[in-house]
Amino acid sequence: MTTGPEPTKSMDQLKADLAEYGFAMMEGALDPDTTAVIRERVLEQAAAEKKVGYGNNNSAVEPDDDVNQWVAFLPNKGAVCRALINNQACVDIVRYILGDDAILSEFSAHITWPGNKEMALHIDQWFMPQTVMPGDDYVRPSDVSRQHQPWGGPEPANHPINPPVVCNVMFAITDFTLENGATRLVAGSHRSGHHPEPDARYDVTYAEVPAGSFVVWEGRTWHAASLNTGNTPRVGITTYWTAPFIRQLLNFPYGLRPEVTSELNDHERALMGFKPWNTYGATDDFGAEWARPGPETTGVLKD
Ligand SMILES: O=C(O)CCC(=O)C(=O)O
């Protein structure tokens, strides 16, 4: 284990920890009642999804595990979860990292169940093209893959690296402990410009926090969920955020159920990507504040 940040209630400390370690922990972000209501809803949904055999694993990050469970696309699965994207500390730290126009990219629960397999350390912005010397060959952006990356150690690079373009605010809906699979992270790895070597072992910090906290890491920080060696599930909810010019991991404007879309307020709709950014994401009117859904756009016109 290595040194890392301590859980804090101070936004200033949270920002300082992020700069130094690439991650930070906010204690008391959610009150106990809200946390309990969300936990109950997520576990109920998880049990029902398991029963009908609905998509319970995420092979992109856990190819070898069929024990952990992702409850994907939470906004469709109960209005209670929307408390998380309306959490001021969450939105403040996201905007601190990515700027005011950041949007939500994913909003899902990740449940580590006892008997799971260990998730491999990774970074979230694996899709970013690497910097190259002028004239050098480059990987064509649509050919970038998780498998072909500049592997290396977590030490700071001595050359320019990409800035963060995504970040993750993961809410602890149960306690996160060493035993139940707390997220583990490599302090300082956000400065390395490297991806962790697939089978190497590194000094990690376990984000041990009480329920109601969140763990925030930026897109370059090495991290993963851990083994659950206990006998109760660890429930985390990932709110994953992105620069508005990057495709969202979950396609909210397309996939939200109509009854959910009609309940969203403007703040939530903007966060979910209904608002074009410098015309990107527009539908038929480049100047419109909001993208219009198909039935409301202009079709064939004739004199
Ligand atoms: O569930 C966790 O603790 C980590 C999840 C993770 O690695 C991710 O969402 O990229």
| Distance of CA 142 from the midpoint of ligand 1 (Å) | 24
Sheet (strand 103-112) strand order: 23-26, 214-218, 166-172, 234-242, 103-112, 69-71
Nearest residue to 283 (alpha-carbon basis) of 253, 251, 256, 263: 253
User: Tens digits of per-residue pLDDT, 267-285?
Assistant: 999 999 999 999 999 999 9
199-to-149, 178, 202 alpha-carbon distances in Å:
14, 21, 10
Nearest residue to 161 (alpha-carbon basis) of 185, 128, 137, 134: 128
User: Tens digits of per-residue pLDDT, 73-88?
Assistant: 999 999 999 889 999 9
pLDDT category at 302 given cuts 50, 70, 90 is: very high
| Distance of CA 120 from the midpoint of ligand 1 (Å) | 10
Residue 59 or 78, more confident: 78
Contact criterion met (CB below 8 Å) for 50 and 235: no
Average pLDDT over residues 30-54: 96
User: Position 87: which residue type?
Assistant: N
12-to-30, 164, 179, 218, 298 alpha-carbon distances in Å:
18, 19, 30, 16, 48
- What is the position in ligand 1's atom list of the atom closest to the CA of 181? 3
E strand or H helix at 234 = strand 234-242
Task: Give the Cα separation of 171 and 211 in Å (integer).
Answer: 8
Contact criterion met (CB below 8 Å) for 48 and 40: no
Looking up tokens 């979230």 gives 124
Question: What fold, for 11-272?
Answer: Jelly Rolls (2.60.120)
User: Which residue, judged by its Cα, is nearest atom 2 of ligand 1?
Assistant: 225
- What is the position in ligand 1's atom list of the atom closest to the CA of 183? 3
| Distance of CA 301 from the midpoint of ligand 1 (Å) | 48
Please say if the pLDDT value at position 19 is more than 80: yes
Average pLDDT over residues 170-195: 97
Please say if the pLDDT value at position 292 is more than 90: yes
Q: State both tokens at 287.
A: 């100047």
| Distance of CA 157 from the midpoint of ligand 1 (Å) | 24
Contact criterion met (CB below 8 Å) for 30 and 46: no
User: Which residue, judged by its Cα, is nearest atom 8 of ligand 1?
Assistant: 224
| Distance of CA 123 from the midpoint of ligand 1 (Å) | 10
- What is the position in ligand 1's atom list of the atom closest to the CA of 238? 9
Least confident residue range of 65-69, 99-103, 258-262: 65-69
| Distance of CA 12 from the midpoint of ligand 1 (Å) | 24
Residue 54 or 181, more confident: 181
Indicate the angle between helix axes 88-98 and 11-21, nearest 10 degrees: 40
Least confident residue range of 3-17, 50-64, 173-187: 50-64
Pocket of ligand 1 (CB under 6 A): 61, 110, 124, 168, 183, 223-225, 236, 238
Which pLDDT value is given to residue 64? 81
Mutate to test the pocket of ligand 1, among 25, 57, 108, 119 (most ligand atoms within 8 A of CB): 119
Please say if the pLDDT value at position 1 is more than 50: no
SS3 at position 70: strand
Please say if the pLDDT value at position 59 is more than 80: no
Buried-state track 41-67, b at ≥16 Cβ within 10 A, e below 16:
bbbebbeebeeeeeebebeebbeebee
Mutate to test the pocket of ligand 1, among 62, 74, 223, 227 (most ligand atoms within 8 A of CB): 223
Contact criterion met (CB below 8 Å) for 248 and 103: yes
User: Tens digits of per-residue pLDDT, 209-246?
Assistant: 999 999 999 999 999 999 999 999 999 999 999 999 99
| Distance of CA 225 from the midpoint of ligand 1 (Å) | 5
| Distance of CA 302 from the midpoint of ligand 1 (Å) | 52
Domain boundaries, the chain: 11-272
- What is the position in ligand 1's atom list of the atom closest to the CA of 110? 1
User: Which residue, judged by its Cα, is nearest atom 10 of ligand 1?
Assistant: 124
Please say if the pLDDT value at position 41 is more than 70: yes
- What is the position in ligand 1's atom list of the atom closest to the CA of 112? 1
